[in-house]
Amino acid sequence: MEDRTQREQSSPEVQKRVRASFDRQGLMAHLGARITHIGPGRVHIELPSRPEVTQQHGYFHAGATSAVADSAGGYAASTLFPEDAEVLTVEYKINLLAPATGDHIEAIGTVLRAGRTLTVCRLEVYGVRHDGERELVANGQQTLIRVDRPAR
């Protein structure tokens, strides 16, 4: 069950920075993903069901599932760092627990431990039906490295 802190919102400045970065991601735009929650150490990303993100049996493709999970974890970590820091994924492991079906999938990245250099996140992906029923379809863990923001 979700507690109050899991829905806590990040500051408007952090939300603006995270959304601006997310909007620069070509893959997320291509997939049709959108951020639905930005909290301290926690980000939710939804991916609507459509033929372009499915595999041959009609389930969400593992690549699309993994991509939104990876981004959710990365942005969850970035909520805890200063404006001049970025994160890059070092590695992640994802277990596909059930065929991903539903109106959309929701990836939730949650920081387990934020360090000066490395951060570890929990990744969860739920299949969500029209009626709101949710099923955990994937879970995993991710390690990210904090880097200085490159000059643009």
**127 contacts 148 by C-beta, under 8 angstroms:** no
Asked if residue 123 belongs to a domain, the reply is yes
Amino acid in the structure at residue 76: A
Asked if residue 1 belongs to a domain, the reply is no
User: What does the pLDDT read at residue 7?
Assistant: 75
User: What does the pLDDT read at residue 149?
Assistant: 77
Asked if residue 44 belongs to a domain, the reply is yes
Asked if residue 138 belongs to a domain, the reply is yes
User: What does the pLDDT read at residue 60?
Assistant: 98
At 73-131, the pLDDT tens digits run 999 999 999 989 999 999 999 999 999 999 999 999 999 999 999 999 999 999 999 99
**14 contacts 79 by C-beta, under 8 angstroms:** yes
Domain boundaries, position 21: 7-148
How many structural domains compose the chain?
1
Q: What is the DSSP string of 45-112?
A: EEEE--GGGB-TTSSBPHHHHHHHHHHHHHHHHHTTS-TTEEEEEEEEEEEE-S---SSEEEEEEEEE
Asked if residue 2 belongs to a domain, the reply is no
Asked if residue 51 belongs to a domain, the reply is yes
**CATH code, 128:** 3.10.129.10
Asked if residue 71 belongs to a domain, the reply is yes
Phi, psi (5° rounding) for residue 105? -110, 150
